[in-house]
Amino acid sequence: MRILGLYNYWIFIILMMCGFYVVISSGNLIKKLVGLNIFQTSVFILYISMGKIIGGTAPIVIDKAVVYSNPLPHVLILTAIVVGIATTSLGLALVVRIHEAYGTIEEDEIHAQDQEDAL
C-alpha cells in the first residue's frame, strides 16, 4: 500500500522516462522538443507534490489552520516553468530556422545534407 500511496512520485518517474525516451529516440526535431517538454513537466510535478502536506491548507495565516502546505517549492517551480517556456520557444525558433536552411526537420536528412557538404 505504501507504494501506491506514493503514486505522485510514480507519475513523476513514468513521465520523466517517457519524455527522456522521446528525446533520445525520435529523429524529428519537433517531437524531440515535445519529449523535452514532458521531461521538464515531470520535474514540475516532483516539486509541486513535495510541497503538499496531507491535511494542510493554503499558507495563509487564519485562526483555525494548524498545518500549512509548503509554498516554497511551488514558487520555485514557477521559475522553472518560465525557463521551460523560454527553452521551448527558443527551440521552436531554431527549428524554424533549420527548416529554412535545410528544408527538412528530420535529423537523418539534415545529417545527410551535412555529409554531402563536407565532400
Partner 1 sequence: MIAHLPALQVIIPLVSAPLCALLPAGRAVWLAAMAASWLAFLIAVLLLDQVLAHGPISYLMGGWPVPWGIEYRVDVLNAYVLLIVATIGAVVMSFGRIIVERRIRLPESKQSWFYTAYLLCLTGLLGITITGDAFNVFVFLEISSLSSYVLISIGRDRRALTASYQYLIMGTIGATFILIGIGLLYVMTGTLNMADLAARIPAVADTRTVRAAFAFLTIGVSLKLALFPLHLWLPNAYAYAPSVVTALLAATATKVAVYVLLRFFFTIFGAKFSFETMQLDKILLPLALVGIFSASVVAIFQSNVKRMLAYSSVAQIGYMILGISLVSVTGLTAGIVHLFNHALMKGALFMALGCVSFRVGAARLDRMAGVGRVMPWTMGAFVIGGLSLIGVPLTAGFVSKWYLIVGAMEKGWWPVAVLVLVTSLLAVIYIWRVVEVAYFKPVPEGQAVREAPLALLIPTWALALANLYFGLDPSLNAGVARHAAEMLLGVGQ
Task: Please give the residue ranges that form the binding site for partner 1 (CB under 8 A).
Answer: 20, 23, 29, 32, 36, 39-40, 43, 46-47, 50, 73, 76, 79-80, 83, 86-87, 90-91, 94-95, 97-98, 101-102, 110, 114
Strands (E), the chain: none
Closest to partner 1 by CB, 63 or 88: 88
Which position has the grid cell 519524455? 19
Which position has the grid cell 526537420? 105
- Cβ 18 to partner 1 shortest distance, Å: 14
Strands (E), 6-98: none
Closest to partner 1 by CB, 16 or 64: 16
Residues 81, 82, 84, 89, CA torsion sign: positive
Residue 62 grid cell = 487564519
- Cβ 56 to partner 1 shortest distance, Å: 15
Amino acid identity for residue 48 in this structure: I
Closest to partner 1 by CB, 65 or 82: 82
